[in-house]
Each structure stands twice: as C-alpha cells, then as structure tokens.
Amino acid sequence: MVSAERRPAFGLGSVFKRDTFSGMKYQELGRTGLHVSQLSLGGAQFGQQYGPLSVSTAAEVVHAAIDAGVNLIDTSAFYGQGASETILGEVLSGGWRDKVSICTKAGRLERDRFDFTPQGMRDCFEGSLRRLRTDHVEILLAHDIEYADDFERVFDETAEVLHRLKQEGKCRFIGMSCLPLGLLAQAIERCRLDVVVSYCHYNLHDQTLLTDLLPVAATHGVGVLNASPLSMGLLTNQGPQPWHPAGDEIKAACRTAAKHCQVRGADISFLGMQFCLGSSAIPSTISGAGTLTELETNLKALATVPDPVLLAEVQAILEPVRNRTWPSGRTRA
C-alpha cells in the first residue's frame, strides 16, 4: 500500500515538478538494470485512438509526466498507424528523449493485420525509429502475439529477429506482449526475453497476473509491465466500447460496481488506479493520459491509498466475475 507520507498537494493546471511530487518510487525491471517509475505513460492516446489530440497538448502531458518522475513511455507502431510515435518523436526532441526510456512494439500493423515475420518485424521497427527520431529504444516488443498464425514461428523466428536487433544495438531489451497469460508464460520460458507487457490481468476484477505470470517471470528474471489497469474501459463510469470482448456477466458486474462508487461519491476509475499503483509486486503500471487533468488524476491515485471500506465493497460486487477473462486471438486468455 501507498503510505500517507506520499500525499503531495495538487491543483488543476499545476506543473508536476519532482520537487513538488516526491512520491514516485522506482523498481528494477526484471534483470534489465532499468529502474522504472511506478506509473508509466501509455501512448495510445497520442495515436488519436480516443479522439483528436494536438501535438501541443501531447507535449504538455509528456513533459509534465517526466517532470513528475515518470521515466517510461509505452507506444507502438499500431497506435494510429504510427501517429503516436510521430508525435512522441516531436515532443521528445530538445533533450527530453534523454530523460525517458521508450518501449515500442512491432508486428501489429492494424486491428486485423499482423506481420511477425523477421522481415516484417524489422521493417516495422525501422519505421518506428524514424518516427521516434532516435537510433534506438530501450525496449522492443512483439505486439499481441496471440494473433500470430503460428506460435512456433513466433517462438523461433520472431524471437530470433528480436535478439538480432538487440545485438545490433537498436534496442537494449526485448520482449513480447499479449492477453493470454499462458501464451506469455510460454514465451518467457522459450524465448530468452527481458520484458513482457501483460494487460487486463491486474485490476479490480482480475488479479491472475500475480499467480499465473509473475512466478514464471521471476524464475527467468523477466520484467513485467502491467497495462490496461482499467480493463480497457470496463472499470470506468462510461463503460467499455461496443467492441470490448468481455462477456455480458463481466460487463454487468463492472457497471454495478461503477454505479456503487458513484452512489458513494467516488469514481471507480480512480479507485482502480489506486489499487494498481499501490501494488509493490508490479514494477510499473502503464496508463494513458491525454490531458494534464488526466495525468494529475493518475498522480493523485499514485499518492493516495484506496478507501478500504469502498475497496472491499467493490471487490464483493465483482467477486462473481473475479479472475474471469475472455478469448483473444488464436487461444483463450
């Protein structure tokens, strides 16, 4: 849990300097030697995934996050078909690039188009480097490998090209991402990875990341990043997009939990961020922010502890769907 001493005062429009926000903690990411901030900045919104976002607004958010101690930014060639990386390349110019580690992902080109072949991965990543205006990134991942046509080729050919790119100095560390924890565990066991990104498996209704992946990762010295702490919109007042793959029972339970928080004068999104950011078992949780207000909310969640009574009530509501997930790609999560 987050201690009460880590509660700085914020005001809307404040600049989040390190001397005013001293609550950021850092953990080593596996055996990489990278010490990452508890809160990482997700780049999907910079790819216009959730509506238009100007370069100037993105710059405000990115620079304020770095000033607050965030030292890892996660993006992908898939986000806006390169738009996220293009914007990040621009806003990290002028010395900001040296203050953060970049994690980007290759292999997923569009929602339904993937190319995990060695040449496809290399071409995709070379485009990422150009857009990011850098000659290397700290972390390169194969993106959403559960959608590959042949998992054996991913474990063999895709892993091999990742290692070659690492040997060439174009990335410091390599890894993979996907929803199914079993597939991610296999990748860890077989591919000599440094880092993996897991999403939707550590949040208010699903904590299987702790039991089904972290022990395997620890055995192999692999760092784990937690993404989608609000379960792709399930744990929000507005609820998920129509395409969300969760079953009706999960969606209904999350709606009930969100309404309960509202009745109690709380926001389930804020509670969900407090819950994830308060875990010492996970080095970093990736969360997007498209405005300074959204960034400030995440920093407040980092700096405060959940109301234990409200948290218990919400967990009781979600108990019938606890650790339930949904199919993704060519295997079940």
Rg of the Cα atoms in the chain = 19
Token duo for residue 36: 């990452």
**Could you tell me the sign of the dihedral formed by the alpha carbons of 259, 260, 264, 267, in that order?**
negative
Residue 86 contacts residue 131 (beta carbons within 8 Å) = yes
**How many angstroms separate the CA atoms of 121 and 118, rounded?**
5
Residue 164 contacts residue 312 (beta carbons within 8 Å) = no
At a CB cut-off of 8 Å and minimum separation 6, what does 187 contact? 145, 154, 155, 159, 176, 178, 193, 196
What region does 254 belong to: left with phi over 0, alpha with psi -120 to 50, or beta? Answer: alpha
Question: Among all chains, which residue has been given the structure tokens 């030697």?
Answer: 33
Token duo for residue 82: 């390169």
Nearest Cα to Cα of residue 45 among 106, 99, 88, 102: 88
| From 79, 147, 199, 202, the catalytic residue | 79
Residue 243 contacts residue 121 (beta carbons within 8 Å) = no
CA 197 vs CA 68, 179, 315: distances in Å: 23, 9, 25
**How many angstroms separate the CA atoms of 126 and 318, rounded?**
43
Let me know if 79 is a catalytic residue: yes
Kindly list the catalytic residues.
Answer: 79
